[in-house]
């Protein structure tokens, strides 16, 4: 593979000189290898859009603003973000706004964090049919949970569920699972609130797991003929029947702030952050810090480990988690469904209603961020800044730094063929040009035969 690096002259914009990204090389990785990945692996349109959004996110290409430090007059350049819904470099404000809306949605009851994991035997089918399999996962979770909770021996009422889809683990491997916030109790048809019959769980673990497995297999069997697969439904069901399905239930808690922060962390991006990611341009490798759950000891946090990846492999690990276009990764069910929430707003007991909660305005959120995370000046340490000027977009910046694979490969070298003195025949026959209808190879013509 041959490469051509753009040699456009540097822009006249002074703020582009000496640009250094603050994302530990995430944008540089997509600028260096993004086009090569597109040419080799032919990704779909959503993945191509994400590649070409990350490489310009928070760079001079999009423009920005210059801020002056009040303490030492040094200048700080802040560039605009790309705004892509799955970009791991931006969307911080959208995540905070989503978390704020989630906080207002929650009722004044304990919540249980339940994780539904799809068996890895379905990974190949999910890769080929992501939208259908992810929808089946959502529907199976809700139907099994609703039926279990509506039974009198468990809860006796309909719960409220907020579910978020994750397709990644901390090491960016393909690991499809749902994080669900479930109300620790439910509302019956007469509008009466019921608490679970058990102290720390909605239902027995084995019953919950079995109900989820049955619903998933029924949903999968009903649409299996429409899916792109390489294995028969009988063989797949036999393999899934031998597998112990995983439904992890954590103890209920009234302090849901930690769960809210965890869910909002990846609600608008793929599961990679600059604190765990580093791209070494000199060694041409990516370093990824992940949680080593296999060596985790009971009652302690999982130890950290380091994973080294080649650049193209790292790109593939990231891009495999791009969701289908317009797919909703966060969904609301039961008491938290929009239609049910309006209908049951007056039926809920006053003790568990959330009428007293209000959504903070955008300016209140910004003030809260500034108050907690003041950006210190590197020269004097001051956190007081004032806006100096607007930075115009530098369209030539990307052309200066982008690495583009050549559109054609190197030409194949053929041996030089010297003709005879009478120019009638070549000393060596020319390469075979084509095949005739009978499949016999045709020799190259001489000058006399051509004449």
- Residue 413: the pLDDT is 52
368 pLDDT band, cuts 50/70/90, is low
Task: Indicate whether 408 pLDDT > 70.
Answer: no
Measured from the Cβ of residue 57, the count of other Cβ atoms closer than 10 Å reads 24
Question: What are the domain boundaries of the chain?
Answer: 3-86+380-405, 107-271+321-353, 420-451
449 pLDDT band, cuts 50/70/90, is very low
Residue range 88-95: average pLDDT?
Answer: 80
Task: Indicate whether 133 pLDDT > 90.
Answer: yes
- Residue 220: the pLDDT is 93
Maximum average pLDDT range among 121-135, 236-250, 269-283: 121-135
Find the range with the poorest average confidence among 94-98, 196-200, 314-318, 369-373.
369-373
CATH class of 107-271+321-353: alpha beta
- Residue-wise pLDDT for 238-274, tens only, equals 888 888 899 999 999 888 788 888 788 777 777 787 7
169 pLDDT band, cuts 50/70/90, is confident
E strand or H helix that includes residue 167: strand 160-168
Task: Indicate whether 443 pLDDT > 60.
Answer: no
- Residue 191: the pLDDT is 83
Interatomic CA distance for residues 296 and 286, integer angstroms = 24
12 pLDDT band, cuts 50/70/90, is low
- Residue 365: the pLDDT is 54
412 pLDDT band, cuts 50/70/90, is low
Determine the longest span between alpha carbons in the chain, in angstroms: 107
- The token pair at 331 is 């969904």
> Which 8-state DSSP code applies to residue 152?
T
| Sign of the CA dihedral with 379 first, then 382, 386, and 390 last | positive
Measured from the Cβ of residue 190, the count of other Cβ atoms closer than 10 Å reads 7
Q: For residue 273, is it left (φ>0), alpha (ψ between -120 and 50) or beta? A: beta
Task: Indicate whether 158 pLDDT > 80.
Answer: yes
Which of 83, 67, 2, 63 minimizes the C-alpha distance to 375? Answer: 67
- Residue 431: the pLDDT is 42
- Residue-wise pLDDT for 418-440, tens only, equals 444 444 433 444 343 444 444 44
Residue range 275-303: average pLDDT?
Answer: 86
Residue range 170-191: average pLDDT?
Answer: 90
Task: Indicate whether 125 pLDDT > 90.
Answer: yes
- Residue-wise pLDDT for 54-85, tens only, equals 999 988 888 888 888 888 888 888 888 888 88
Interatomic CA distance for residues 423 and 443, integer angstroms = 17
Task: Indicate whether 370 pLDDT > 60.
Answer: no
Determine contact, residues 102/122, Cβ cutoff 8 Å. Answer: no
- Residue 14: the pLDDT is 59
> Which 8-state DSSP code applies to residue 70?
T
Which residue reads 């380091």 in tokens? 306
Q: What is the mean pLDDT of the chain?
A: 80
pTM recorded for the entire structure: 0.79
Q: What torsion, rounded to 10 degrees, do the Cα atoms 353, 357, 362, 364 define?
A: -160
Residue range 218-240: average pLDDT?
Answer: 89
């Amino acid at each position: 593979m041959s490469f051509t690096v753009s040699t456009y002259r540097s822009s006249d914009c002074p703020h582009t000189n000496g640009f250094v990204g603050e994302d530990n090389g995430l944008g540089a990785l997509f600028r260096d290898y993004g086009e090569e990945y597109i040419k080799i692996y032919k990704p779909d349109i959503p993945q191509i859009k994400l590649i070409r959004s990350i490489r310009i996110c928070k760079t001079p290409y999009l423009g920005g603003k210059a801020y002056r430090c009040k303490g030492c007059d040094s200048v700080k350049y802040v560039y605009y973000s790309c705004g892509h819904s799955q970009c791991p470099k931006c969307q911080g404000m959208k995540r905070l706004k989503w978390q704020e809306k989630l906080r207002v949605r929650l009722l004044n009851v304990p919540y249980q964090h339940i994780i539904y994991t799809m068996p890895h035997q379905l990974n190949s089918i999910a890769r080929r049919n992501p939208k259908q399999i992810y929808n089946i996962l959502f529907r199976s979770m809700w139907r099994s949970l609703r039926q279990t909770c509506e039974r009198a021996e468990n809860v006796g009422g309909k719960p409220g569920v907020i579910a978020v889809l994750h397709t990644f683990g901390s090491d960016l491997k393909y690991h499809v699972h749902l994080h669900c916030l479930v109300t620790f109790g439910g509302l019956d048809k007469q509008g009466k609130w019921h608490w679970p019959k058990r102290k720390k769980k909605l239902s027995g673990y084995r019953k919950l797991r079995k109900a989820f497995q049955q619903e998933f297999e029924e949903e999968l069997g009903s649409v299996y003929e429409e899916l792109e697969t390489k294995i028969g439904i009988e063989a797949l069901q036999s393999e899934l029947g031998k597998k112990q399905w995983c439904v992890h239930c954590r103890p209920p808690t009234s302090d849901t702030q930690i769960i809210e922060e965890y869910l909002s962390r990846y609600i608008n991006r793929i599961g990679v952050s600059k604190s765990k990611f580093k791209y070494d341009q000199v060694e041409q490798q990516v370093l990824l810090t992940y949680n080593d759950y296999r060596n985790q000891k009971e009652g302690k946090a999982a130890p950290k480990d380091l994973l080294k990846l080649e650049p193209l492999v790292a790109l593939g690990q990231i891009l495999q988690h791009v969701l289908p276009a317009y797919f909703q990764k966060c969904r609301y069910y039961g008491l938290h469904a929009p239609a049910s929430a309006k209908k049951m707003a007056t039926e809920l007991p006053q003790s568990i209603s959330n009428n007293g909660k209000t959504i903070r305005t955008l300016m209140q959120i910004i003030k809260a961020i500034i108050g907690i995370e003041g950006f210190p000046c590197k020269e004097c340490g001051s956190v007081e800044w004032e806006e100096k000027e607007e930075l115009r977009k530098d369209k030539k910046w990307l052309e200066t730094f982008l690495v583009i694979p050549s559109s054609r490969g190197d030409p194949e070298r053929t041996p030089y063929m010297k003709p005879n003195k009478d120019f009638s025949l070549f000393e060596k026959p020319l390469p075979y040009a084509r095949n005739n209808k009978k499949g016999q190879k045709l020799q190259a013509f001489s000058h006399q035969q051509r004449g």
